[in-house]
Amino acid sequence: MKIAFFNTKTYDQKYFDSINKEHGHELHYIPSHLNSETAHLIQDEEVVCAFINDSLNAEVLTTLKNKGVKLIALRSAGFNHVDLVAAKSLDLPVVRVPTYSPYAVAEHAVGLLLCLNRKIHRAFNRVREGDFSLHNLMGFDLHGKTIGVVGTGKIGQTFINIMLGFGCKIIAYDICVDEECQEKGVEYVSLDSLFAQANIISLHCPLNEATHHLINQDSLNLMQDGVTIINTSRGKLIDTKAVIQALKRGKVGLLGLDVYEEEEAIFFEDFSSSVIQDDQLSRLLTFPNVIVTSHQAFFTEEAMQKIAGVTLSNITEFANSGLIQNQVSL
């Protein structure tokens, strides 16, 4: 099939070109984000492949449908950037990569936690300046700490397994209780109780109406002073304005973000020679106890191979039989 890939970088093309040798599709790469201004860039492609910071709203989907697109193939697990109601009414199936590497994301969450706690980001710069002192570099043992995990799906469970190895106590909140987690000693509690008890909170739930701004002024007030928050899930789970205030008064002691509320226009691009226009992001970057990474938790060799493989298999399956097992349903 002819496929238009939006929002692609050379690292995407490398994996898709290599794995496409087994599939034989015609790939057309478009570097721009997909949105209402760029949807018209497709020619005669029957499939559009999009990434997390593309916008697949009703207007974009209608344009694509009118241009003859038959399938939307997301090269991500998350699908909160797609108007599924509009896709359904346009009879435009949407497929995704439901799982590629929970290890990639969970390990990045642990990386953020270790780096923040042991101040490795500060030590790295300090010794390069010839400063071998230890002042302000003290961390705490993770062993024995209470970790609150919100969302115990694939990534949350992988994160839990790692943290159990550190000797942490795990409490969790999810709309579905997982028995395997309970057997490992994970205690499911209410969200408010998790906020009140946890020394460290890690978010692994999807973004939806129920989880939008899950971390807000009220929930922050319930938390322990100096709490650590790690978000590798979706930026809009956290009310950035509220978390900045909480950082300023010491309520939040450490904050590790791989995702940011307004990341769409910024992440994955190089602004090193420009002035960043987003004042909240700029403020976050001034805190010594905050680490922001640019939505890179998924970015491992293994995950990229799996993403390309499953995306192209989804399309091949659709081309051969019209069947699509990884279809996203409402």
205 binds ligand NAD, rule: CB under 6 A:
yes
Contact pick of 88, 153, 212, 213 for ligand NAD (by CB under 6 A): 153
> Exactly one of 19, 47, 94, 105 binds ligand NAD (CB under 6 A); which one?
105
The Cα–Cα gap between 214 and 220 comes to: 10
Among 138, 176, 275, 330, binds ligand NAD (CB under 6 A): 176
Residues between 283 and 312 with contacts to ligand NAD, criterion CB under 6 A: 295, 297-298
Active-site residue set: 234, 263
Cα 264 from Cα 89, distance rounded (Å): 26
Helix (H, G, I), strand (E, B) or coil at 311: helix
Kindly tell me which residue out of 111, 151, 253, 309 binds ligand NAD, with binding defined by CB under 6 A. 151
Count of beta carbons in the 10 Å neighbourhood of residue 265: 11
* C-beta of 26 vs 302, nearer to ligand NAD: 302
Burial class (CB in 10 A: 0-12, 13-18, 19+), 286: exposed
Give me the helices (H) in the chain, please.
Answer: 10-20, 58-66, 84-89, 102-118, 120-128, 154-165, 179-183, 191-197, 217-222, 240-248, 279-284, 301-321
Q: Which of 190, 297, 193, 201 is nearest to 246 (CA)?
A: 201
**Residue 187, exposed/middle/buried by CB under 10 A (0-12, 13-18, 19+)?**
middle
150 binds ligand NAD (CB under 6 A): yes
d(CA 110, CA 200): 11
Give every strand in the sheet of 71-74, ordered side by side.
Answer: 26-30, 2-6, 47-50, 71-74, 94-95
If binding means CB under 6 A, how many residues of this protein chain bind ligand NAD? 30
| Segment near ligand NAD (CB under 6 A); pick from 2-10, 60-68, 182-190, 229-237 | 229-237
Binding mask 246-265 for ligand NAD (x = CB under 6 A): ------------xx------
- Residue 319 CB, shortest distance to ligand NAD, in Å, is 26
Site map (CB under 6 A) of ligand NAD, residues 6-45, x = contact: ----------------------------------------
Minimum CB distance to ligand NAD, residue 297 (Å): 4
Q: Please identify which residue in 173, 195, 260, 318 interacts with ligand NAD, judged by CB under 6 A.
A: 173
Stretch of residues binding ligand NAD (CB under 6 A), selected from 19-27, 34-42, 81-89, 200-208: 200-208
Judged by CB under 6 A, which of 53, 55, 233, 314 binds ligand NAD? 233
* Residue of 78, 161, 224, 317 that binds ligand NAD (CB under 6 A): 78
Does 234 participate in binding ligand NAD (rule CB under 6 A)? yes
Q: With binding defined as CB under 6 A, does residue 204 bind ligand NAD? A: yes
Give the sign of the dihedral formed by CA 229, CA 233, CA 237, CA 241. Answer: positive
For 8, 199, 309, the CA distances from 17, given in Å and listed in that order, are: 12, 45, 10
Q: Which residues bind ligand NAD (CB under 6 A)?
A: 77-78, 99, 102, 105, 150-156, 173-176, 204-207, 210-211, 232-234, 258-259, 295, 297-298
